[in-house]
């Protein structure tokens, strides 16, 4: 698997935790088109073809950055025709089809596309050194990987507007306070904490985890009534899972469940 990629590193441990590391530290893990397509391909591969991988952690290599954004040097000469006909950034849409949970372990700058990549993940854990921002406006453009849509859903319109219109960065603590990140942890404990969360999730029933993730994702898109109906159908469908029978039997018999993941 590792050999298939040149700009990211992918490692899958036997406990079901996969780690995808963006590996361009010299450019602060800026997302050029190769990095972007490798992240998407690796996630789709781990999601669909890799039974061992149950949770995917995304992080950046080096001490400074998760990802400092799309690669500005690559974008500088793009024309409107290239962007439009080349469907620039459309590849990220497919990341939404990933059923396994994605955890962003934000180890430093998460700016522009880097912040947007973190927001595509299901849980954001931040190092105390992390900084988040949408500085596209300072480059004469706007966010293009979901920032104007996911940030207001995460932190509310006024705060999102302020960040997107000023281009200012915020620190980890502030990101947690406003609900962008779930937790901030000491820098040298970030991966350990991310592994703990991922490993815990990986002990649960794979289809139940996928259903829970999908329901929460749907809550960001639809009305309350529609979301509640969606949840109810997914909840009812849990009773067609072997894992529901096993999970409840295990509780009643006071023993740990042994999932078949079916
Ligand atoms: C390309 C980048 C880069 C980026 C940093 N580098 N960010 N290269 N694209 N987004 C490169 C620098 O050019 C430099 O390379 C090296 O990484 C180290 O960066 P420095 O700037 O020297 O580091 P420092 O002074 O510590 O400043 C860190 C920083 C700054 C504050 C994060 O690098 C910065 O502001 N980066 C750009 C952040 C940004 O605007 N992101 C949004 C991008 S637009 P050399 O070779 O010079 O040493 C975007 C749009 C997404 O993401 C969706 C639509 C496409």
The whole-model pTM stands at: 0.97
Closest CA to 151 of 168, 134, 135, 136: 134
- Whether 3 has a pLDDT exceeding 90, the answer reads no
**Which ligand 1 atom is at minimum distance from the Cα of 134?**
42
pLDDT digits (tens, 9 = 90+) for 44-91: 999 999 999 999 999 999 999 999 999 999 999 999 999 999 999 999
Rounded Cα distance between 249 and 255, Å, is: 9
Separation of CA 187 and ligand 1 centre (Å)? 21
Residue 1 pLDDT:
81
Does residue 167's CB lie within 6 angstroms of at least one atom of ligand 1?
no
Angle at 212 between CA 209 and CA 218, to 5 degrees: 140
Looking at residue 149, its pLDDT comes to: 98
Which secondary structure element, helix H or strand E, spans residue 133, and what is its range? strand 131-133
Residue 195's region, left for phi above 0, alpha for psi from -120 to 50, else beta, is alpha
| Residue 108 CB–ligand 1 contact under 6 Å | no
């Amino acid at each position: 698997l590792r050999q298939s990629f040149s700009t990211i590193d992918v490692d899958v441990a036997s406990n079901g935790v996969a780690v995808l590391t963006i590996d361009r530290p010299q450019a602060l893990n800026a997302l050029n088109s190769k990095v972007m397509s490798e992240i998407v391909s690796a996630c789709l591969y781990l999601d669909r073809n890799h039974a061992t991988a149950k949770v995917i952690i995304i992080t950046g290599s080096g001490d400074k950055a998760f990802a400092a954004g799309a690669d500005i040097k690559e974008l500088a000469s793009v024309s409107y025709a290239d962007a439009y006909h080349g469907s620039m950034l459309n590849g990220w849409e497919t990341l939404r089809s990933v059923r396994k949970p994605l955890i962003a372990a934000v180890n430093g700058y998460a700016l522009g596309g880097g912040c947007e990549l973190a927001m595509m993940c299901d849980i954001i854990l931040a190092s105390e050194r992390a900084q988040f921002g949408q500085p596209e406006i300072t480059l004469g453009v706007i966010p293009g990987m979901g920032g104007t849509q996911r940030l207001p859903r995460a932190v509310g319109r006024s705060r999102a507007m302020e960040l997107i219109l000023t281009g200012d960065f915020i620190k980890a603590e502030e990101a947690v306070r406003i609900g962008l990140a779930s937790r901030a942890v000491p820098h040298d404990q970030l991966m350990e904490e991310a592994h703990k969360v991922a490993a815990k999730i990986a002990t649960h029933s794979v289809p139940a985890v996928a259903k829970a993730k999908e329901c929460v994702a749907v809550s960001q898109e639809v009305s309350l009534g529609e979301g509640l109906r969606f949840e109810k159908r997914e909840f009812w469908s849990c009773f067609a899972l072997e894992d529901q029978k096993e999970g409840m039997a295990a509780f009643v018999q006071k023993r740990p469940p042994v999932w078949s993941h079916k």
